[in-house]
Amino acid sequence: MTGENSDRDFVDRALRQLPHATPSSGFEAALLAGYDAWKAERKKGPWAAIKAGLRRFSETIWPGAPLWVPASALAVALLVGAGVGAALPAAGEQSGFSLEQPGSFTLFASDMTLEEDL
């Protein structure tokens, strides 16, 4: 008898000695009810699934509020952020962007001028 066969026989004996697990009746009922609910929602189409997912997401973010509340809060936050982002560079630096004058920042800055590199 090879080592592989003895290992297989040992595993077979060990698995036969384990008790058979049966799920509780409550678990089976909950599983079947969840499947029935999923099947009923599936018949409504893909938009129903998307709306249900958005509703669950909004419940995670703002529990108990209607769907439009977190959506409007996100929209206001985006508008305020875009407004502040557009206003801050203008307040800090008055010189504008120009194609005629190259920028002074490079990633490979050195003390040598352009003529010394040649």
Give the model confidence (pLDDT) of 17-73 as tens digits. Answer: 998 888 888 998 999 998 888 888 777 888 887 888 888 887 888 888 887 888 899
The 3-state DSSP class for residue 89 equals helix
Q: CA 118 to CA 90: how far, in whole Å?
A: 37
At residue 114 the predicted structure's pLDDT band, cuts being 50, 70 and 90, is: low
Residues with Cβ within 8 Å of 52's Cβ and at least 6 positions away in sequence, in order, are: 41
pLDDT of residue 107: 62
What tokens does 71 get?
């959506």
At residue 106 the predicted structure's pLDDT band, cuts being 50, 70 and 90, is: low
User: Crossing angle for the helix pair 46-61 and 68-92, nearest 10 degrees?
Assistant: 70
pLDDT exceeds 90 at position 101: no
Q: CA 95 to CA 72: how far, in whole Å?
A: 36
How many angstroms separate the Cα of 20 from the Cα of each of 12, 26, 29, 49, 87?
14, 18, 20, 37, 69
pTM over 0.85? The answer is no
Contact predicate 62/70, CB 8 Å: yes
